[in-house]
Structure 1
């Protein structure tokens, strides 16, 4: 018997079932409905955002960092700023948290910058370095200003097992200011001072020699330092005009300055838990205001004078009488 190459089912005619017709009908009606709906919707003009969406951010025509003009007429400078504005605008939770923290810590940092004649914009370095927190980097840099131990000691901070003043906001800010002033004597402009704080003077100096350029905006630098000044500028732009970049809050939403007083200590402290309890607070809160005290005791064999900060009575309680001065953000 000779077998045919044709499939036996090829001669059978397919007859759709009622279920198949139902599916086809639904699809046809759906397409018709979509066409009818879209036919009544006017297309939004290009560049006009809906009520909620992701849109391009506003770039200022002119911008100064630390009193020095950024050359935004240059495409690479302008696009670098645009990148950092986008990143920090749409990193909503982190940027809002930084804005909230600024209410507590900028009032501490700003007067110290003024005292040393350092531009106010350098407060944004503390955000870029540590997020306004006592961060510890993998390289061992510590505190708001991210000092390595050797540099901290060079600029007058005490660093040992019991006391580490890199965690002391006021003292570390003063040390950072002394570093900035020394760097300004080298570079003669604040933009390069800020870049050197991120890259290190030696590393920045090497690139100046190799590339034969003295302007930050004309130097090819490592990724982090190349973005650094633009991140500072973006933070400034957003924090000075937060609503323009989609951040809405009231002054009361910012973390306030907590009222405190200082107690002078020039003797050993055997137990800081007892020390705190005897002063109407506790170990946790004492360490919150004095993170530079690294142990639960203080040997103080030399009789050195230390100033320990403690909260005013009732200052821990949120509400009337328990908040510090109204916080605010200045440009």
Structure 2
């Protein structure tokens, strides 16, 4: 009797629970409370005006993979969205100046998360330049000054590379892929496989995912609330006002120099990460612009 009574009570509990579970109208489900489940996938996607053929099963699944992965990397993606409010106003006008599509700011996002990252291979900065490539693109790279850490100058160098790649391949999508796989590497696969569309090429895993990662971050960052990221405007990282100080002489002690400017060494290096030593040697009297914050420290 006791056993039968327990079975009846359990069945009643299940039945009652079912009322609450299945009685919830579907339209009231909030995507923000359902991380890890199916995400919204847009019907049409493009990169720099070049259509992504989501009607092809392989292409759609590759895009969906990156969308799901990045929509569920809560802390990482949230920090990227917050940093973008500070970095994009610097990057966007430079892209526009060089005639590079605005979508390429998302390439910087997947390269570094919009921080001055250092890769195991030796690439550095927001745009992840290797030393020799940086020098080829006009940046100064040595133990005293490393302009890979200079957001404006590294963005200009990235633009120069991307324009060259676009001229070579005739496609912004392939130009983006070559930023990861190299112009030589991508061109070799085009010749071997006898196709000239990124979405038709069989590439190594990293380059194969590369453009889809850009597309996924673009989609999430343009529509954060659709993917569960709700951020108040005041919580985004903002640019700190600075004054620009031109110097063309050696500074033997940057800590003392910082104090003379009313800040400290730490603040000086935060705003000028391209200064890699405790001094700035400048026998050639080259002109450098040092940013001195006026508030926010």
- Specify the TM-score bucket, using the shorter chain as the normaliser: over 0.9
1:228 to 195, 199, 210: 210
Residue in 2 that maps onto 1:300: 282
Name the structure with the higher helix share: 2
Measure how far apart 1:83 and its partner are: 0.5
Distance of 1:188 and 1:268 partners within structure 2: 45
Deviations 1:290-310 (A, max 9, x none): 111100001111111111111
> What does residue range 195-214 of structure 1 map to in structure 2 within 5 Å?
195-214=177-196
Q: Could you tell me how far apart the structure 2 residues matched to 1:268 and 1:154 are?
A: 25
Provide the rounded CA distance (Å) in 1 between the counterparts of 2:170 and 2:7: 68
Residues 44, 277 of structure 1: CA spacing in aligned structure 2 closer, same or farther, 3 A cutoff? same
Q: Which residue is 1:168 aligned to? A: 150
Correspondence 1:65 to 2:47: yes
Change (3 A) 1:82 1:251: same
Matched, 1:134 2:112: no
How far 1:33 sits from its partner (Å)? 3.0
Instruction: Return the index of the structure with the highest Cα Rg.
Output: 1
Structure 1 match to 2:22: 44
Say whether 1:86 aligns with 2:68. yes
Instruction: Could you tell me which runs of 5 or more consecutive residues in structure 2 were left unpaired when the two chains were aligned.
Output: none
Q: CA RMSD in A?
A: 1.8
1:76: how far off?
A: 0.6
Cα displacement (A) at 1:252? 1.2
Q: Report what 1:320 is aligned to.
A: none
Residue 274 of structure 1: aligned partner = 256
What's the CA shift for 1:59?
A: 1.1
Matched, 1:256 2:234: no
Residues 8-19 of structure 1 aligned to structure 2 (within 5 Å) = none
Deviations 1:177-225 (A, max 9, x none): 0001111110111000000001111111111111111000000011111
Give the C-alpha shift of residue 44 in structure 1: 2.8
Structure 1 residues not aligned, in runs of 5+: 1-23, 317-331
- The range that moved more, 63-72 or 27-36, is 27-36
Q: Distance in 1 between matches of 2:151 and 2:22?
A: 51
**In the alignment, what sits opposite 1:5?**
none
3-state SS of 2:121 partner = coil
1:30 is displaced (CA, Å) by 5.0
2:296 to 311, 315, 321: 315
Cα distance in structure 2, aligned partners of 1:216 and 1:46: 44
3-state SS of paired residue (1:301): coil
In 2, distance between residues paired with 1:45 and 1:73?
A: 35
TM-score (norm 1): 0.84
Shift of 1:315: 2.6
Tell me whether 1:150 sits opposite 2:132 in the alignment: yes
Tell me the alpha carbon deviations over residues 135-187 of structure 1, each in whole angstroms, 9 at most, x when there is no partner. Answer: 11011001001101111000000011100000000000000000011111101
Alignment-derived partner of residue 328 in structure 1: none
Alignment: residue pair count: 291
Q: Please report the TM-score for the alignment, with normalisation by the length of structure 2.
A: 0.94
Query: What SS is found at the alignment partner of 2:266?
Result: helix
What whole-Å deviation, never above 9, does each CA across 1:77-101 have from its counterpart, x for those lacking one? 1111111110011111110110000
Query: SS state of the match for residue 128, structure 2?
Result: coil
